[in-house]
Amino acid sequence: MNAENLKLCEKLVSSSYVQQGAQARSIQENKIRQLLQHRKLPEEGWDDITIELCLQELAVMDSNNFKGNCGIGEREARIASSLVAKRHYRLGHGIGRSGDITAIQPKAAGSSLLMKLTNSLVLDVLKIAGINSVEDCFVVPMATGMCLVLCMLTLRQTRPNALYVLWPRIDQKSCFKSIITAGFQPVVIENCLVGDELTTDLSAIEEKIEELGPDKVLCIMTTTSCFAPRIPDKLEEVAVLSKKYDIPHLVNNAYGIQSTKCTHLLQQASRVGRVDAFVQSTDKNFMVPVGGSVIASFDKNLLQKISKTYPGRASVSPTLDLFITLLTLGSTGYKKLLSKRKAMYSYLSSSLSSCAAKHGERLLSVPHNPISMAMSLTVADGGDNERLSTEVGSMLFTRFVSGTRVVESSGTETSVSGYKFQNFGAHHNDYPCTYLTAAAAIGMTESEVDTFITRLDKVLTKCKKRKTNSGHSTCYQEIGSLGTNGDELVTFTGIRNDTSQQE
């Protein structure tokens, strides 16, 4: 309430009470003022009332909420359902303008402010997470794969001869498909097996560049966050190659913001070589519903080009979700989530390690993957046990364990957009053993780890018993009782038997 209104209030309620109320209110207004002033994550998270107050203030600045506004255009943010209006805090204009997703929308000062503020908050979070010299970023209402497409289509504008994208193999369909969707030919760089780890083959990348010619290569697409036993790509070395041959370097940092190892890789790579843009999913890093990504860069101009490549306006939803979430957490809350995650990684890895030892298995040695880990499943290896790996995956799935994957190198060939892969899911043509993966992702709790280990222990005990009794009829019955037909059984093998990030 402004001073004039407060004066009027004092005619109705005793002035000391009104002053007290006004004082309480000014605390909230101060928070909003500081947000507008510094455009940084508040240290302490805001309460819901303050956030809603702020959103209301923004919403009344959009033309669809003007009293007596008369909309004569074809897009006036009219919302038929009051539920839908409430779900969006009455912000109906979306973000951006036809030619730029980060442009100000004249009909929607409030939505435009929300967009600008959210992008600033995210930039701050990227720095807090360890990418100190990031220049700029923006939220896009599309998931990671589509944002990679947008980046490649932007790079194409300055590389007219480019036909190929060099892609160190990461068995995740959406990033592979993003190359095809953008209209380029993926050149798969197979990984090197070093100990248990799968890592970037740098000389193969350089050979390919020489063979194809640097100007024929649109970009090198590396990946930070990935399933063990693959580890983050050698970002610094690739960045150096990228600089040497003047080829753009695009980084798929899908869930890497939550790990300082991944963010430091990005930071270092940009220091020693070339990183053009990096993309991360909002849901995987910030605990919001699926639907958005953040495109970020060390180069403001390139980022602006990318935002101008996006045609038309965009949904405000992922921006709104992120704005609310970041204000709720504050920098203290987000940092807490990050350190909790790190602790959960240690907890999960020691719990999984003991469980593995109990069953004659072992945790694969993948010290360079900071999020995902893998445990051998030799129980499923060998001759007539080839179906057992399938069973472990589905038994866990039916016991409400989501996100684990059982990967076997059974020699199957999978076709992704017409490209053939041996043992897709394993990041390698012939990984030496069958294994199960688990990830310590942001938000994971001790009790989830405990429950997972208890269920895994039961499943492994059961499987071992069945293996020694030979014959898997009971296991199959269990799957059968779910009404799973032969076709769906196939979807339980290897990479597809999960409900995790891999989707």
Ligand X SMILES: *Cc1c(COP(=O)(O)O)cnc(C)c1O
Closest CB to ligand X among residues 134, 254: 254
Closest CB to ligand X among residues 42, 292: 292
Closest CB to ligand X among residues 351, 372: 372
CB of residue 501 to ligand X, shortest distance in Å: 4
Closest CB to ligand X among residues 64, 222: 222
Closest CB to ligand X among residues 101, 142: 142
**Structure tokens that stand for 234 in this block:** 């050698």
Closest CB to ligand X among residues 199, 281: 281
Closest CB to ligand X among residues 142, 316: 142
Q: Which residues contact 178 (CB under 8 A, 6 or more apart)?
A: 145, 146, 148, 149, 152
Closest CB to ligand X among residues 374, 463: 374
CB of residue 25 to ligand X, shortest distance in Å: 41
CB of residue 440 to ligand X, shortest distance in Å: 14
CB of residue 292 to ligand X, shortest distance in Å: 9
Alpha helices in 316-400 (DSSP H): 317-358, 388-398
**Structure tokens that stand for 201 in this block:** 């083959």
CB of residue 403 to ligand X, shortest distance in Å: 12
User: How many angstroms separate the CA atoms of 387 and 400, rounded?
Assistant: 20
- Burial letters for 196-235: b for 16+ Cβ neighbours within 10 Å, e otherwise? bbbbbbbebbbebbeebebebbbbbbbbbbbbbbbbbbbb
CB of residue 254 to ligand X, shortest distance in Å: 3
Closest CB to ligand X among residues 105, 258: 258
Which residue has 């990967």 as its token pair? 407
* Helix, strand, coil tally for the chain in percent (to 5): 50, 15, 35
- Computed from CA positions of residues 176, 182, 188, 189, in that sequence, does the dihedral angle turn out positive or negative? negative
Closest CB to ligand X among residues 59, 147: 147
Closest CB to ligand X among residues 170, 444: 170
CB of residue 267 to ligand X, shortest distance in Å: 19
Q: Which residues contact 378 (CB under 8 A, 6 or more apart)?
A: 360, 361, 433, 434
Closest CB to ligand X among residues 58, 250: 250
CB of residue 255 to ligand X, shortest distance in Å: 6
Identity at 139, one-letter amino acid code: V
CB of residue 262 to ligand X, shortest distance in Å: 11
CB of residue 133 to ligand X, shortest distance in Å: 24
CB of residue 43 to ligand X, shortest distance in Å: 30
DSSP 29: H
Residue pair 225/232 in contact (Cβ under 8 Å)? The answer is yes
First to last CA, the chain: 49
User: Distances from the Cα of 270 to the Cαs of 132, 165, 233, 303, in angstroms?
Assistant: 11, 20, 14, 15
CB of residue 174 to ligand X, shortest distance in Å: 4
Burial of 366 (0-12, 13-18, 19+ CB in 10 A): buried
Q: Which residues pair with 422 in a beta bridge?
A: 413
Closest CB to ligand X among residues 168, 333: 168
User: Which stretches of the chain bind ligand X, using CB under 6 A?
Assistant: 143-145, 170, 172, 174-175, 223, 225-226, 252, 254-255, 281, 501
**Structure tokens that stand for 131 in this block:** 């990418």
User: How many angstroms separate the CA atoms of 301 and 298, rounded?
Assistant: 9
Residue pair 331/351 in contact (Cβ under 8 Å)? The answer is no
User: How many angstroms separate the CA atoms of 108 and 114, rounded?
Assistant: 10
Residue pair 402/499 in contact (Cβ under 8 Å)? The answer is yes
CB of residue 175 to ligand X, shortest distance in Å: 4
Q: Which residues contact 120 (CB under 8 A, 6 or more apart)?
A: 39, 40
Nearest to 254 by CA among 338, 314, 175: 175
Identity at 79, one-letter amino acid code: I
Which residue has 């442009």 as its token pair? 103
